[in-house]
Amino acid sequence: MQLGPGSVPPRDGPPPAVRVRDLARHYVVHRKAPGVLGSLRALVRREHDLVRAVDGVTFDLAEGEIVGFLGPNGAGKTTTLKLLSGLLHPTAGEARVLGHDPWRRDHVLLRQLSLVMGQKNQLWWDIPARETFLLNKEIYEIPDRQYRESVDELVDLLDLGRVLDVQVRRLSLGERMKCELAAALLHRPRILFLDEPTIGLDVVAQKAIRQFIDAYRRRHRATVILTSHYMDDVKELCERIVVIDHGRVIHDGALAEVVAAFAGYRVVEVRFDRAVARADLEAHGVVAAHDGATATLHLPREEVSARAARLLSSLPVADLTIEEPPIDDVIRQVFATGRGRAPEPVDSAVAPT
Ligand SMILES: Nc1ncnc2c1ncn2[C@@H]1O[C@H](COP(=O)(O)OP(=O)(O)OP(=O)(O)O)[C@@H](O)[C@H]1O
Ligand SMILES: [Mg+2]
């Protein structure tokens, strides 16, 4: 479903768990040409660019819903999650999370939400995760019994038994991420903002984290916004996606619609025993890249098996893999609207927002 700015699909029933209207966060950044001359010139006349990190975002999330928040690098996903967690103040617009204004940093709300960032550590490195858990127990004032139940539940769901008592810096990336999630969920938040929780993990660890997110959400009816550049995360967890680009929502609707739209081809990486001619490859499909004995082809999805078989029988193939198109490419293809806007120069008198 394509939506214009400020519009949301009409919904009946209880009030949304998350309600966002025309939310914006702009930054004014100094522009300086490189080198000494650039520095001198900046002394005389300061020039600024306006970066519209989030530029009028509107959507609703029902209680218990999970939505995949997608978009290319720099689209404004992390900024939106920080705004909704109350870490940043907006330039304009409004948001309600469980009926609260997140920027008031109301304890009632803070105890019900968690922001987990795959790129940032919240655990203390030099002590075992269990000790950070105890710290969080105090911060969130979790009663003893609930704390014990929470730890037991999380240890069970995340298979954390041995890991909790090892110094965090000695853990593998996957084990650390599991502990990060557990630490962020001890107080059983009803709202979860997950910013690339599986980044850098191997496929086994990614799967474990995904299964955990799903189990937690179902068990506690949590409302979740998940950002990820891994299509598998989104495919397995989210029926609905919100696509953001240049700080604006350019798509809000069922993932199935998007898959149907982009899934026209699959990416086939081939390595040959010797160099092959481009013309021989073009007979099989669209040649996206070609360098002597390696090539990337785009083959129509419904014919990919037959075409790959033909490729194997007619050319000296040493290795062949078939993959989904990268999610960034897909998003760029399907939602080509709104792209290519350069930062706008603003008057140097504008105060930073
Ligand atoms: N403090 C800041 N000052 C200036 N610009 C900023 C600041 N924080 C973010 N930006 C810019 O805002 C835009 C959105 O950044 P954001 O981190 O929200 O993107 P993202 O969608 O999370 O990207 P990624 O997928 O790479 O994590 C980017 O162009 C970024 O450079
Ligand atoms: Mg980000």
Residues 78-116 have pLDDT tens digits of: 999 999 999 999 999 999 999 999 999 888 999 999 999
Could you read off the pLDDT of 281-313 as tens digits, one per residue? 999 999 999 999 999 999 988 899 999 999 999
Mean pLDDT score, 25-49: 82
Burial class (CB in 10 A: 0-12, 13-18, 19+), 236: middle
Per-residue pLDDT at 334: 59
Ligand 1 mean position, distance from CA 90 (Å): 14
Say if CB 330 and CB 298 are below 8 A apart.
no
Q: Which of 318, 320, 319 is nearest to 273 (CA)?
A: 318
Tokens 């967890």 belong to residue: 237
Ligand 2 mean position, distance from CA 117 (Å): 9
Ligand nearest the Cα of residue 24 is 1
Tokens 């799967």 belong to residue: 207
Please give the share of the chain, as a percent, with pLDDT higher than 90. 59
Ligand 1: residue whose CA is nearest its atom 28: 74
Per-residue pLDDT at 200: 86
Ligand 1: residue whose CA is nearest its atom 25: 73
Per-residue pLDDT at 297: 95
Ligand 1: residue whose CA is nearest its atom 24: 73
Ligand 2 mean position, distance from CA 40 (Å): 34
81 Cβ closer than 6 Å to some ligand 1 atom? no
Ligand nearest the Cα of residue 247 is 1
| Entry pTM | 0.77
73 Cβ closer than 6 Å to some ligand 1 atom? yes
Ligand 1 mean position, distance from CA 178 (Å): 26
Cα–Cα dist 210/226, whole Å: 11
Ligand 1 mean position, distance from CA 340 (Å): 16
pLDDT at position 3 over 50? no
Per-residue pLDDT at 103: 94
Domains of the chain by range and CATH?
Answer: 18-26+54-251 (3.40.50.300), 264-323 (3.30.70)
Ligand 1: residue whose CA is nearest its atom 5: 27
Pocket test for ligand 1, best of 25, 30, 57, 77 (most atoms within 8 A of CB): 77
Cα–Cα dist 232/203, whole Å: 10
**How many other C-beta atoms can be found within 10 angstroms of the C-beta atom of residue 239?**
14
Ligand 1 mean position, distance from CA 77 (Å): 8
Say if CB 270 and CB 295 are below 8 A apart.
yes
Q: Which of 123, 188, 119 is nearest to 153 (CA)?
A: 188
Per-residue pLDDT at 344: 39
75 Cβ closer than 6 Å to some ligand 1 atom? yes
